[in-house]
Amino acid sequence: GRGVSSARGAPRGKGISARELRTLKRGDLLVHEDKGIGKFMGFDTIEVRGAKQEVVRLTYLDNDILYVNLDYIAKLSRYSAAEVAEDSVKLSKLGSAEWQRTKEKTKRRLKDIARSLITIYAKRKKQEGFIFSKDDIIQREMEAAFLYEDTPDQAKATEDRKRYMETGAPMDRLLCGDVGYGKTEVAMRAAMKATLDKKQVAVLVPTTILAEQHERSFKDRL
């Protein structure tokens, strides 16, 4: 069977970009939001109602073909599942309800996870943590010794974390930022604040090299 997926002016901002599409190899797996898992087989030009359209060609189970108009590629995304090898992935069957059932099952699972997280965080809020002391002169001197001027985001992140430490709530904060934006300095200031209240600090990182880099940074800074 063959199918054409097309929608002029479809919303952008999600899914795969045209630039990413150009980097795909034939046989790479793509997921169509409504049709399921298929294989990318390149680009084609087809005629629909007398007008030529450039489309992405996908193959599905039983060699069924789906053409996706380039105006509608927001529906497409790369297949990714770290625990599953691509060559073992089962392609979806066009025209069947299997993909919709899979999506509904996933949505229910996500709702279960969300409910579980809400319960965990509600329990966390009821627990009492350690109330750290207000900044003292050593803390202020340590921060003042920073060789660079804080960026506004860096200063705000530092204050947010220190004030959180003083509330007595169990600590649960996530700091995100690109490489070189000063996340380690924020962590070191929080570590100093904890140490001044006679608490030990552990720094967990994913690689030995990064552990060595942090060790040097902490030694140099403190």
* Contact assessment for residue 30 and residue 38, using Cβ atoms and an 8 Å cutoff: yes
How remote is the C-alpha of 11 from its chain's centroid?
A: 21
pLDDT at 13 (0 to 100): 47
Q: What is the pLDDT of residues 33-77, one digit of tens each?
A: 999 999 999 999 988 888 898 999 999 999 999 999 998 899 999
Residue 7, pLDDT score:
47
d(CA 188, CA 11): 43
Average pLDDT, the chain: 89
Strand, helix or coil for residue 29: strand
Q: What is the pLDDT of residues 122-158, one digit of tens each?
A: 888 888 889 999 999 999 999 999 999 999 999 999 9
**pTM given for the model:** 0.54
Residues 209-219, mean pLDDT to the nearest whole number: 94
Whether the CB-CB separation of 139 and 191 falls below 8 Å is answered with no
Report d(CA 182, CA 146) in Å as an integer: 11
Per-residue pLDDT, averaged over 86-111, amounts to 90
Task: Report, as an integer, the average pLDDT of 154-181.
Answer: 90
Q: How far apart are CA 70 and CA 67, in angstroms?
A: 9
Lowest mean pLDDT, pick from 13-17, 155-159, 171-175, 216-220: 13-17
Q: How confident is the model at residue 12 (pLDDT cuts 50, 70, 90)?
A: very low
Helix (H) or strand (E) holding 20: helix 18-22
Proportion of the chain above pLDDT 90, given as a percent: 66
